């Protein structure tokens, strides 16, 4: 996102009487889910999603829903979440969610532009911020190296889900991902749905 493009979007939101950061976050979430089918085919994207902690329970369900018509992207999502579970020993980082991270970065980019705008526009733009986002007034991000370091800090942990549940998911997905090309579409669909159901149970248990 360029600064000029963000300024244009902020002005549109303000003219419409809406909070520009709320609009940006909503649009960012919709765009993420629109493009995720293509993104999940990219190994680099999958690695970034796994490194971020995969997806929180709320966003995991949204991602699964967005992939319903694409079985191979659903397999790639299982790869991401299986990698997270293996990396973190069967639990998830509390703040670990690739979509949450994307939305935070969007909000930060808009905050920088709003707080650096010219005085006349700044007054109107700041006045348009909702109660949730008024706290971002005059907030400026630290140097890029500090922001990168903060994103690498170990996250707190969610409560550990059932180890049997986790092992069931890991074993089931291992078999599925190894032999998926040998399965007929109906069997593949059924087994993917089973893995997704197990994954949803694990993330909900992890959210306590």
What's the longest Cα–Cα distance across the chain? Answer: 64
Question: Is the torsion defined by CA of 8, 16, 31, 207 positive or negative?
Answer: positive
Which has more pLDDT, 75 or 154? 75
199 has a pLDDT exceeding 60: yes
- More confident call, 124 vs 146: 124
- Considering the chain, what percentage of its residues have pLDDT values greater than 90? 46
CA angle 146-151-156, nearest 5°? 130
Question: In Å, how far are 1, 77, 86, 111, 136 from 83, measured between CA atoms?
Answer: 30, 10, 5, 33, 35
Beta carbons of 50 and 77 less than 8 angstroms apart: no
Average pLDDT score, the chain: 83
Instruction: Calculate mean pLDDT across residues 200-206.
Output: 80
Residue-level pLDDT at 31: 95
Mean pLDDT of 35-62: 92
Which tops the pLDDT comparison, 155 or 38? 38
Q: 123-132 b/e with 16+ CB inside 10 Å = b? A: eebbebbeee
Quote the pLDDT of residue 156. Answer: 46
pLDDT tens digits for range 133-148:
887 766 655 554 444 4
**pLDDT for 158:** 45
Tokens of 182: 């040998």
In this predicted structure, what is the pLDDT of residue 125? 87
Q: For residue 114, what are its two tokens?
A: 């709003």
Q: How confident is the model at residue 115 (pLDDT cuts 50, 70, 90)?
A: confident
Mean pLDDT within 103-108: 93
pLDDT band at 90 (very low <50, low <70, confident <90, very high): low
């Amino acid at each position: 996102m360029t600064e000029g493009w963000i300024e244009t979007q902020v002005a549109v939101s303000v003219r419409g009487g809406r909070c520009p950061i709320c609009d940006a976050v909503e649009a960012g979430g919709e765009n993420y889910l629109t493009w995720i089918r293509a993104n999940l085919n990219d190994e680099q994207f999958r690695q970034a999603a796994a490194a971020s902690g995969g997806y929180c329970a709320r966003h995991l369900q949204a991602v699964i829903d967005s992939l319903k018509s694409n079985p191979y992207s659903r397999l790639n999502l299982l790869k991401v979440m299986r990698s997270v579970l293996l990396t973190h020993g069967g639990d998830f980082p509390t703040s670990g969610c690739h979509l949450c991270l994307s939305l935070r970065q969007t909000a930060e980019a808009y905050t920088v532009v709003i707080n650096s705008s010219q005085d006349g526009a700044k007054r109107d733009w700041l006045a348009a911020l909702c109660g949730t986002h008024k706290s971002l007034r005059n907030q400026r991000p630290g140097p890029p190296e500090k922001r990168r370091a903060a994103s690498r800090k170990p996250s707190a942990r969610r409560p550990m889900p059932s180890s049997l549940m986790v092992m069931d998911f890991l074993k089931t997905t291992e078999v599925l991902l190894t032999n998926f090309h040998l399965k007929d579409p109906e069997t593949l669909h059924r087994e993917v749905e089973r893995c997704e159901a197990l994954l949803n149970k694990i993330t909900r248990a992890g959210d306590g």
